[in-house]
Structure 1
Amino acid sequence: MSILHYDFMVRALIAAVLVGLTAPAVGIYLVQRRMSLVGDGIGHIALTGVALGFLTGQSPVLSAVVVAALGAVAVELIRSRGGASGDVALSLLFYGGIAGGVLLISLAPNGGNNNLLGYLFGSLLTTRPSDLIVMGVLAVAVLLFTVGLRSWLFAICHDEEFARVSGVPVRLLNILLAVSAAVTVTVAMRVVGVLLVSALMVIPVATAQQVARGFAATLAGAMGLSVAVALTGAVGSFYLDVPSGASIVVLAVLVFVVVTAVAAAVHGWQRRAAARPSRPAPEAPAPDPVAAEPTGAGVPGR
């Protein structure tokens, strides 16, 4: 029987596509700014939101959106200050987020390790219709922002000072990008979990950079690869009865290793071919002096 006959698998595949599109759409900007681990830190903060949802009886997804967004804004404000004190503050925020989540989930009346593990490492096959609706709305909002404003976001990622002088609202875009990262973490936590979501935001982008030239090509390649990996990992987890989040991330890592190895081999061959001396052109034969001597008809005095 086809897996599409199961409603939970249809929901799982739709969720995988949504995450496959949104994760690299935000991750490419984080990679460009060398902030690849920010997604992992925001995931720790989102865990507190999940636990808060269980504690208050609200939707864990919605509470995670609010808490992760507030945490992402705090991360951006701390990052903009820079310095060693900023690094310490970020560490306190990240570790405090995961510790707060564990503490709150233990106080929740219906909480427990099973509920928490589903959000920590993903539980794609248990995606509910209500989760899918929330994920769809959030994914559309993230894609509209990251793709629609890609020229401005590209500008602030490469030269923030020049973008500010050019009139680009740098502070607002930085905050919105941080919120988009928080929303992406929330969208992806049902698929790969808050502890693994950063991998899906970074690895497809790093893989696409090995073969793509230009920002638009890298973005398109990363999104296509992410969707393919998410779908393949979801289907594989169904047939192999293994965790979906781990399957997707491991598959993404394997693809990265293979693409990197092939790209390195191709580049090495191109360098050797360019360094190989070209065969010299054959020299023209020397002119025959006898044949070159003019005939008598053209010589005066004959």
Structure 2
Amino acid sequence: MDILDYAFMQRALLAAVLVGVIAPAVGIYLVQRRQALMGDGIGHVAMTGVGLGFLLNTSPVWMATAVSVLGAVLMELIRWYGRTRGDIALAMLFYGGMAGGVMFTSLAGGSTANLTSYLFGSLSTVSESDVTAIFLLAAFVLVVTLGLRRQLFAVSQDEEFARVTGLPVRALNLLTAVTAAVTVTVAMRVVGLLLVSALMVVPVAAAQQLTRSFAATFAVAVAIGVSVTIGGTVTSFYQDVPPGSTIVLLTIGAFIALTALATPLARRRARALAAAHSAGDPAECAIPATRGPESTVGV
């Protein structure tokens, strides 16, 4: 039985590849900004868009995109001006998004079961119109994350320094939030709204176990993202298991494997650094012995 004999699997695999590319491409900036859970919050807000799509009898993907973008902009505004009550406002936004999704779906005559494929992903429900929407939205994400990588990286690393250099920090922050929102809606048919945040963050964290530069981290994270989305989609087809949870578990497995691989490499690097200190080699002494998840530098 050839998996590509089925049209729905062709669509699912194409969507999986696109999601595997763009989720880490956006996630690398969120990790640098210490906003790893932003995708999870946007996913909650996107549920209202899905419910509105059912109620208005329009595409849930496009409606979720519109609502998610609005929610992401509100999240950035709260981050700027919220101060002490910002966490309360964000909590209301997230849980209000979930409640709105359930309410609008119910008003449309459906049940919470209609939301399941959007919450946790589903292979058989990826339609041709979904693939078209995913392709267009993924193209937008790639244009932003690659075309503005230097500016986005600068803002993610140090907003104050970026502002001094003349970069439009607020505009770039808003663009990052909007791009994250678009990524969440692109991924919801494959991974699901409640699990997409893991695919945005964990491949980046896994890549950082081995890499030192931004470019290398970006490339390895995307490679991991594509590998786990394809692997999870194929496994889901043959084993009849949920695609979203399978993809996330594979992603976590990749992180554990790379961490185990990186540990002895870090120890050897530390020993080499210690030996260089003893020998007084300035070139070797310049090599950092360890690196944390936030230390990716260079573009």
TM-score normalised according to structure 2 size: 0.90
Q: Partner residue of 2:5?
A: 5
Preserved CA contact (<8 Å) 1:196 1:249 = yes
Q: In structure 1, what is the equivalent of residue 284 of structure 2?
A: none
CA distance 1:6–1:52, change in 2 (3 Å): same
The Cα offsets for residues 229-279 of structure 1, whole Å up to 9 and x where unpaired, read as 10011001101000001100000001101111221122224434655799x
Aligned partner of 1:247 in structure 2 is 246
Equivalence for 1:127: 126
What corresponds to 1:83 in structure 2? Answer: 83
> For the residues of structure 1 that align with 2:61 and 2:270, how far apart are their CA atoms?
50
Contact 1:124 1:192 in 2 (8 A): no
Helix, strand or coil at the partner of 1:124? coil
SS at match of 2:8: helix
Q: 1:295 is matched with which residue?
A: none
Q: 1:145 to 1:274 in 2, by over 3 A?
A: closer
Gaps of 5+ in 2: 280-299
Q: Deviations over 1:40-81 (max 9, x none)?
A: 000000000000110111110111011000000000111122
User: Does the alignment pair 1:158 with 2:174?
Assistant: no
CA offset digits 1:79-109 (Å, max 9, x no partner): 1225221111111111111111112111112
- For 1:52, the aligned partner's letter is L
| Aligned residue in 2 for 1:264 | 263
Cα 1:132/1:276, change in 2 over 3 Å: same
**Offset at 1:113?**
2.3
Q: Which moved more, 1:76-85 or 1:130-139?
A: 76-85
CA distance in 2, matches of 1:142, 1:249: 21
Q: Whole-Å Cα distance in 1 between the matches of residues 226 and 268 of structure 2?
A: 31
Distance (whole Å) between structure 1 residues aligned to residue 125 and residue 233 of structure 2: 12
Name the SS of the counterpart of 1:125 in structure 2: coil
Give CA deviations for 1:21-51 in whole Å, capped at 9, x if unaligned: 1101111000001000010000000000000
Residues 194-235 of structure 1: CA deviation (Å, up to 9, x unaligned): 000000000000000000110011011101110011001100
Contact 1:42 1:71 in 2 (8 A): yes
> Is this contact kept in 2: 1:206–1:256, CA < 8 A?
yes
Q: 1:10 to 1:98 in 2, by over 3 A?
A: same
Q: Does 1:104 align with 2:111?
A: no
Q: CA 1:55 to 1:273, structure 2 compared with 1: closer, same or farther past 3 Å? A: same
Considering only CA atoms, is the larger Rg found in Structure 1 or Structure 2? 1
Taking the aligned partners of 2:272 and 2:214, their CA distance within structure 1 comes to 28
Report 1:281-296 matches (<5 A): none
- Secondary structure of the equivalent of 1:265? helix
Q: Give the alignment's Cα RMSD to 1 decimal.
A: 1.8
Q: Deviations over 1:145-175 (max 9, x none)?
A: 0111000001101111121121111111111
Per the alignment, residue 171 of structure 2 pairs with 172
* Unpaired stretches in structure 1, ≥5 consecutive residues: 281-302
* Whole-angstrom CA distance in 2 between matches of 1:249 and 1:24: 13
SS in 1 for 2:124: helix
Maintained 8 Å contact 1:124/1:245: no
Q: Which residue of 1 aligns with 2:222?
A: 223
Structure 1 match to 2:187? 188
| Inter-partner Cα distance in structure 1 for 2:68 and 2:276 | 58
Calculate percent identity across the aligned residue pairs: 60
The answer to whether the aligner puts 1:53 opposite 2:53 as a matched pair is: yes
Q: What is the total number of aligned residue pairs between the two structures?
A: 279
